Structure 1
Amino acid sequence: MTALAHTGAAAGPDPLPLAAVAVLAAGYLLAVSRDRRGWRRRRTVAWLAGCAVLAVALGPLAAGPGDPRVHMAQHLLLGMVAPLALALGAPVTLLLRVVPPPVGRRVGRLLRTRPVHVLAHPVTAALLSTGGLALVLLTPLYAAAERNPVLHHALHAHYVAAGYLLAWSVAGPDPAPRRPRPAVRAGALLAAGAGHAVLAKYLYAHAATLPPGLPDRDVEALRAAARLMYYGGDVAELLLATALFAAWYHRRRPRRPARSAATPPSGPAPGREPAALSRCTRSRPSTAA
């Protein structure tokens, strides 16, 4: 979900990731403008908020000093906060509303394929998120990313993609065929959170050697970053759990039947027949002699 900070000095933000974020925001707004049925404003706000979080993480924080705590905040935003906001924007639903029907059918068939089903399962998403993070931080891969800008950007893309996949599979409003029941999703989220916490504690206890291969090592700064990883991850996971149970409550809540504007909320007024009955009476021909 997150990664420990880079200890080297920041060289400033790279314009390429920021351009990608701008494309995401502009493409979503273009799709909203083409939706003739009217798109929910809160979905647009969620997507743009996610893009704003990405821009902050890839812009000001990337240009900040080489403090491990600053870079830990960057990766918390990239891997946990921004993906949740993006998932709540329901981009797949918006896409299906604006594309031509043949394209929509192809997208629907793709969502129903077995590889997508396996990839979008909450357990798979949790493994990609927390397991991928452990692979980076417990091996020389992290130090290698400091020396290779392409690998560095690839790791950032992985954090965002894995975080989005977890948020989508656990609490996303987008269609997900054969989505497991809420108990399975909550269990996967709990396991991911536990793995994230254990990894943060392990990194704190072994800050003198982990991540391996770093040329310069400030043990106290790395421990502070591990603490931020631990507590910041808890907050982000609590937000995801809130989204999960809010969606579950919304689906379980009984739906009230729509009332006609001519019908009073508490039934017909005394001495007045219901509007529907009145219409039937007026439309029935009289049989009196």
Structure 2
Amino acid sequence: MEHNHVHHASGLAGDLLLALPFVLAVIIYILLGWVSNRRHKRWPIYRYLSLFFGVLSASMALMGPIAKLAHENFIAHMVGHLLLGMLAPLLFVLAAPMTLVMRTLSVGAARRLSRILKSFPVSIYCHPVAASILNIGGLWVLYTTELYSGMQSNLLLHIVVHVHVFLAGYLYTISILYIDPVPHRCSYTFRAVVLILSLAAHGIISKYIYAHPPVGVPREQAEMGGMVMYYGGDMVELVLIFLFCRQWYKAARPRTVLSITP
């Protein structure tokens, strides 16, 4: 693929613009942690690390060598997809940002936020089925239509696609892995079924890309990109599966009942 204006626009100013939301996220998260620590038990260090590495993962997909190479190399694009759409959302979820916000707010504000989280629109987008459709369905549209080639020549479309990839990955992860408070909870069995089906669909997309390169992508790059998506995605998915099964085991484990014999 030839260089295009999206590539030329990705200079220092473009990188700073793309990095701004993630830098603000880190600053706000640290400030919330500082306020929360004054009222409650200290916020765990590993939560800060999760957010930091989540921001780092997303930033690597949006700027720097990988992002610049992704404009002309499908393999690099797929590495960016794994960083932005799979690894970064998982790390953000492990940072438990909504729990931190709830700890920081006053009682009245926390109740208002809780009512918003319990609203019908939020419950729809956070439902495992809807979140899976947004996540996996978006990938099908991106790689089986001319959307991928279009985003390489349109800066606004390029940004919109990347924002969708991250948000869809985040919604999907919070719909499967309950770290933050979830007003509308689905059973472990239901989420396990959705997880298995979505993992299968992700693998099918990878194989489809291998056999049917997206518009404008050389076959050699499509084959290698499909393999990166398949095996790299498996690594992130294994972590998600492990955390999900760990939660399920803890929830199903019988509680020890202490009895005193007279």
TM-score, scaled relative to structure 2: 0.88
Report deviation, 1:178: 2.2
2:104 is the alignment partner of 1:98: yes
- Structure 1 partner of 2:51: 47
Q: Deviations over 1:44-78 (max 9, x none)?
A: 22111111111222222113363221121011100
> How many residues were matched structurally?
246
- Structure 2 partner of 1:180: 186
Amino acid in the other structure paired with 1:19: L
> After the TM superposition, which residues 4-19 of structure 1 pair with which residues of structure 2 at under 5 Å, given as runs?
7-9=1-3, 10-11=7-8, 12=10, 14-19=15-20
| Kept after mapping to 2: 8 A contact 1:186/1:241 | no
Amino acid in the other structure paired with 1:48: F
Q: Secondary structure at the match of 2:67?
A: coil
Q: Deviations over 1:112-167 (max 9, x none)?
A: 11221121111111111001110111112222111111110111010100100111
Q: 62, 77, 80: which is aligned to 2:67?
A: 62
Q: Which structure is higher in helix share?
A: 2
2:118 is the alignment partner of 1:112: yes
Partners of 1:70 and 1:179 in 2: how far apart? 37
Q: 79, 82, 87: which is aligned to 1:73?
A: 79
> After the TM superposition, which residues 1-289 of structure 1 pair with which residues of structure 2 at under 5 Å, given as runs?
7-9=1-3, 10-11=7-8, 12=10, 14-35=15-36, 36=38, 37=40, 38-60=42-64, 61-64=66-69, 66-207=72-213, 211-212=214-215, 214=216, 217-253=217-253
Q: Percent identity?
A: 35
Over alpha carbons, which structure has the higher Rg? 1
Partners of 1:143 and 1:103 in 2: how far apart? 45
Report deviation, 1:8: 4.4
Q: Which runs of 5+ in 2 are unaligned?
A: none
Q: Which runs of 5+ in 1 are unaligned?
A: 1-6, 258-266, 268-289
